[in-house]
Amino acid sequence: MSDINKRPGVFRNEPLLDFSKKINYDKQKAAIALVRKKLGRTYEIVINGKKYKTEKTFTSINPSNKDEVIASFYKGTIDLVNLAVESANKTFDTWKYTPVDERANYLFKASAIIKERRFEVNAYMILEAGKNFAEADADTAEAIDFLEFYGREALRYAGKQPVTPLKGEKNELVYIPLGVGAVIPPWNFPFAILIGMSSAAMVSGNTVVLKPSSDTPMMGQLFFEIMQQAGLPKGVLNFVPGSGGEVGDTLVAHPKTRFISFTGSMEVGIHINELAAKVQPGQIWLKRVIAEMGGKDSMVIDSECDVEEAATAVVAAAFGFQGQKCSACSRAIVDKSIYKEFVQKLKVKVEALKVGPAEDNFSVGPVIGDNQRNGILEYMEFGRKEGKLLTGGNKAEGNGFYLEPTVFIDIKPMDKISQEEIFGPVLAVIKSNNFDESLKIANNTKFGLTGAVYTNNKAKLEKARKELLIGNLYFNRKCTGALVGVHPFGGFNMSGTDSKAGGRDYLLLFTQAKLMSEKIK
């Protein structure tokens, strides 16, 4: 038995760095300069510790400067995906019996490594994902939190589970792993979510085939290197970058894939769910799908609130990381009695935001790519037709994928930009007649991920608690910024399977319960 249990038992969230302090700002700038010297390398596929090259590669670029290549990656093939699953399945035969304290120790070691390499990890994310310093550091801190939290959770799950005693029998309930898991993370939280899904699967005793996002594969490469540095046995984590159609679909459909952990768009999540539901020849289980999908998140601004505070929170939630969060506020539903005041304050605050390169720590950086930007611009055209442009609405200057923070007012509840996920710096403002109508509007989409209500009326807060069908509902604070362990994260309806990442139920999704009963005399 290792000394794992000597580790502090109480989980604490990793503190965020303050970049208003010159020492932190300077360290981050220096790390960016050092990382820049490593850019342009080509990385192989890794299966069971062995590296593979293929005929085709793809590149990851800096969205702040589209001429700068972050790295190139060999594209996975159907044959290599099949090899990865078969190999991971073989490794599972031994990994599933590895004592849980040893499995948890790999997570704790990885956490310590990330803490040491924090500015470096941030720098890669700033350059590859277009996150400013605070957004990148929050992502890295969340990754640390996932490793620390899930390691402790695995130890808790491995403890004695309560069952009702029965005379003449010895009964025991244990949680055992599932098998090979496909982990398909998003580009918007390219380190935290990737690590959260992968580490939860591995610490539960499963093996993983990781297909990183093609927009941010370097963050997957970094995690793979960190787990190697932590001493993780080869074959537990396999790294197979590539396209969703070739690598992703093959991985999801493989008969020996036991579960799929996915975070991304509603459309892709539905496709994965449909593909996973089809039982393939030789498959002896129903695959489990753990899906975190989209959101169309509202902040309800009631007549009885601090309008200044509410406007500040809406701007932070709508335009943090350019609105590229499934939790981002994309609709502000405002009581008619304060509508004019709110809109005036909102305009001033949004127009104070500065757009520019993430490496220079602008408050608003680029969106992830050209396709994403073009799609957002199309929604802006709908916004012009459906409502009134308050501010923004155009591309912003620079050699990257920049857009102005954009607000449309006088949007109707069923308008296109009020119903569809835009995933960019676009906010729709909707006028409501009263609080009850605001709640109905907030509930009128197919999603149910995050939301917030600003009001000083306790009776209204209680009504919102009962009526809003939202997985993560916040009162008198913004609807982004969930913390591991504090705000278990996941939503309803087309927002996914309500997986509650960072919560005490999460590891249940990567395990199955086994009951053993022995007759005793």
Q: In which region does residue 207 sit, left (phi positive, over 0), alpha (psi from -120 to 50) or beta (all else)?
A: beta
CA distance 25 to 21: 6
Known catalytic residue at 359: no
Exposed, middle or buried: residue 115 (CB in 10 Å: 0-12, 13-18, 19+)?
A: middle
Nearest C-alpha neighbor of 72 from the set 32, 36, 38, 40: 40
- What's the CA gap between 74 and 137, in Å, rounded? 28
10 Å CB burial of residue 11 (0-12, 13-18, 19+) is middle
Is position 148 annotated as part of the catalytic site? Answer: no
Please return the burial class of 240, using the count of CB atoms within 10 Å of its CB with bins 0-12, 13-18 and 19+.
buried
Return d(Cα 375, Cα 371) in angstroms, integer.
6
Q: How many CB atoms lie within 10 A of CB 227?
A: 25
Q: Which of 326, 359, 386, 479 is catalytic?
A: 326
Strands 426-432 and 288-292: unpaired
Q: Partners of 288 in the beta sheet? A: 259
For residue 454, give Cα distances in angstroms to 457, 474, 478, 483.
9, 9, 9, 20
Taking alpha carbons only, the member of 71, 49, 51, 50 closest to residue 62 is 71
| CA distances from residue 89 to 82, 214, 300, 336 in whole angstroms, order as listed | 11, 25, 48, 59
Q: Tell me which of 14, 142, 153, 292 is the catalytic residue.
A: 292
Instruction: Supply the residues annotated as catalytic.
Output: 292, 326
